[in-house]
Structure 1
């Protein structure tokens, strides 16, 4: 027991040190989020174990664990389902808008099956699904925490160029989500002694009468940004294309470049910059609170797909271990 008590703080310290070193070398790595999550988890386990041996804290800990259990088992699924219904009504029935609804329904189903008499193999399948849910939940929370950390690290000024990533139009009008990105870019632009170049990026999508770049250009001009400081990239349809095509419009001496997007999209944009070999960082604009859960889930799914080999390997390992335990138990 004493050995375990000594191992946990050492392991937490090692994980935190690895995280700090890797972040200092390259903050745009997804693995940074994992190392931070491991460090925080080990620290929490160490503190929990230490506090558990203090008799006066035991009732408090039991109460906190009960609250956490209720939040995870009841409040979280209900909140996700409610958010999914709201997204359905306000943003349409696209697959991305229904992610929170689907996840909430999935959690409710998993919890119901945990109490059902399913037999040996049925219970094993539910247990494996619960472990997978825990694994992805850990990754999601780690990414969420590190995204907040990353957003506080970036350069605050001294930019040579600012790239604004598009996110869709309402016909030919700039919707609130895109307006937030443009307003953030304008604030960054106007605070510089020498105003940097602005590159607006986005092609013309289904149901749009003009390209995103054209609509964004008009928005900036209406707010006093000089035309000679705006360049339009009107072919991109994905984040990768936004960044790659916009990089081709930058002057050769533009070394300090920031990509402006929404706050939920900042870290994935930064990871994409690194993957493309672009020395850009990202910053974000605020997003409506009701939109965040589904948006964050979309970003998480996209990042997981970027690292699909690792994801598949982890899932195979978890499933294989579950099957082995069921066979030999």
Structure 2
């Protein structure tokens, strides 16, 4: 079965990379490529043995993809409207709606190119579709690997549990999303303690311009008010971003225990980006996620994907420029 050698080779490389360092975006791409090679190999093998069946399956897959895109557009638009109604008109809250609108424009451009058959319009549609396909592939890789990462086993021993802040309601109140993180952090602390450990729970979050106190102080008060021992809580109260959450928490951990290991707690949509950031900041620990309200998850996941894409902007800009150049070549060769 030589046709599956590329898929097997890429998947083996994926396994090696994960074993060495699971907190890399490249792992997500390798996993996605291995699945693509499996699908391509299966279709090629079927085309050799049963060409008619292979053609029918290819048509069925094309129909499923088309239906899936239309369904996705509808879902993103509906979810986007609901997100704006619940959370307001912030840019992060508009991402689901904007993504749906962008796909509508793309579908319209492709339909116009097919109908008009203008060389320039066809090349523009092809290039735009290629860029969108590239982004879509990366997004699926992001979702798939985030799911895998969240199920990888954690180190059974940890000296710290770090809970990342996410903002306060009315300047002083822990909102439901942050409460979920704190409850997951408490659960991880209890689990490690039950195994004989003595971890410290670090609540991480500074004071925003619209907040009456640092997030970490409100987070600590939330835990203590619900029976968590105050002596097991440490506050990191200077950070205003995920990078600073992890950087400043690392300093606290290094000063208290130079050879520390930790577990980082955040929301499930934020797990992979937090893990990548932890690696880049030199934090020795992996990330677990807490539950998020279903309506909030799509826009949040898109926001995380955009943030990761910006982190690796050089690679992504180069790929997009290459795809756009391909569209220009297609137009010149027409």
Q: Residue 249 in 1 paired to residue 252 in 2?
A: yes
SS class of match (2:289): strand
Moved beyond 4 Å, runs of 4+: 55-61
Q: Residue 328 in 1 paired to residue 313 in 2?
A: no
Show the counterpart of 1:170: 169
Closer, same or farther: CA 306–194 of 1 in aligned 2, 3 Å? same
CA displacement at 1:101 relative to structure 2: 0.4
Report which stretch shifted further, 123-132 or 238-247. 123-132
Show the counterpart of 2:182: 182
| Structure 2 alignment gaps of length 5 or more | none
Whether the aligned pair in 2 keeps the contact of 1:124 and 1:326 (CA below 8 Å) is yes
- CA deviation digits over 1:30-78, x for unaligned, max 9? 1111111100011011223334544567656644542332121x11101
Decide which of 208, 213, 218 is 1:210's aligned counterpart: 213
Show the counterpart of 1:90: 86
Decide which of 104, 108, 115 is 1:112's aligned counterpart: 108
Distance 2:325 2:35 in 1: 27
Show the counterpart of 1:3: none
Distance 1:127 1:65 in 2: 17
Distance 2:299 2:117 in 1: 32
TM-score (norm. length: structure 2): 0.92
SS class of match (1:164): strand
Whether the aligned pair in 2 keeps the contact of 1:166 and 1:178 (CA below 8 Å) is yes
Closer, same or farther: CA 61–126 of 1 in aligned 2, 3 Å? closer
Distance 2:68 2:218 in 1: 43
Closer, same or farther: CA 282–324 of 1 in aligned 2, 3 Å? same
Q: Residue 22 in 1 paired to residue 17 in 2?
A: yes
| Structure 1 alignment gaps of length 5 or more | 1-5
Number of aligned residues: 323
- CA deviation digits over 1:99-153, x for unaligned, max 9? 1100101111111121223732222112111000000100010111111111111
- Which aligned pairs between 1:1-329 and structure 2 lie closer than 5 A? 8-52=3-47, 53-54=49-50, 55=52, 59=56, 62-72=59-69, 74-116=70-112, 117=116, 119-155=118-154, 157-171=156-170, 172-191=172-191, 192=193, 193-250=196-253, 251-253=256-258, 255-329=260-334
Distance 1:44 1:213 in 2: 47
RMSD: 1.8
